[in-house]
Amino acid sequence: MRRSTPHRSSTPPREAAAAPEPGRFGRGRLGRWTLAHWGAALAGVFVVGIALGAAGGAGLALLAGGAAGGSSTQVTLVAADLDAAPDAEAAREAGYALPIDVRRSERAQRAYREAYEEDLRQAPPPPKPETAVSPASVSPDVGEPPAASDSAAAPEPDRDAAASPVAAPEQAGEPADAQATGPDAAAGAPAPARTWLARAQPADVTPGQPILAIVIDDVGVDVRRSRQALRLPGPLTFAFLPYGYDLPEMAASARAGGHEIMVHLPMEPSSPDADPGPNALLTGLAAEEIDRRIAWNLSRFDHYVGVNNHMGSKFTADAGGMRRVLDAVAARGLLYLDSVTAAATQGYRLAGEMGVPHAVRDVFIDHTLETEAIEAQLARAVEIARRQGHAVAIGHPHDETLEVLRRWLPRIEAEGVQLVPISAVVKQRPRAG
Q: Do 265 and 310 touch, CB atoms closer than 8 A?
A: yes
One-letter amino acid for residue 15 of the chain: E
If asked whether residues 248 and 356 sit together in one domain, one would say yes
In a domain, 157, yes or no: no
Q: Which position has the higher pLDDT, 206 or 260?
A: 260
Q: Which position has the higher pLDDT, 429 or 413?
A: 413
If asked whether residues 57 and 197 sit together in one domain, one would say no
The structure's pTM equals 0.63
In a domain, 34, yes or no: no
Mean pLDDT across the chain: 72
The domain spanning residue 241 has which CATH number? 3.20.20.370
In a domain, 32, yes or no: no
**Span 201-227, average pLDDT:** 94
If asked whether residues 117 and 170 sit together in one domain, one would say no
pLDDT given at position 140:
30
For the chain, how many structural domains are there in total? 2
If asked whether residues 204 and 97 sit together in one domain, one would say no
pLDDT digits (tens, 9 = 90+) for 281-310: 999 999 999 999 999 999 999 999 999 999
**Span 134-153, average pLDDT:** 30
If asked whether residues 173 and 291 sit together in one domain, one would say yes
Q: What angle do CA 285, 118, 137 make, to 5 degrees?
A: 100
pLDDT given at position 49:
61
If asked whether residues 191 and 96 sit together in one domain, one would say no
- pLDDT band of residue 10 (cuts 50, 70, 90) is very low
pLDDT given at position 429:
78
User: Residue 88: which domain range?
Assistant: 48-121
**Span 262-274, average pLDDT:** 94
* 245 backbone dihedrals φ, ψ, rounded to 5°: -115, 150
In a domain, 156, yes or no: no
In a domain, 11, yes or no: no
Sign of the Cα pseudo-torsion (377, 378, 383, 387, in order)? positive
Distance separating alpha carbons of residues 278 and 271, to the nearest angstrom: 16
In a domain, 129, yes or no: no
pLDDT given at position 40:
62
In a domain, 36, yes or no: no
Distance separating alpha carbons of residues 401 and 409, to the nearest angstrom: 12
In a domain, 368, yes or no: yes
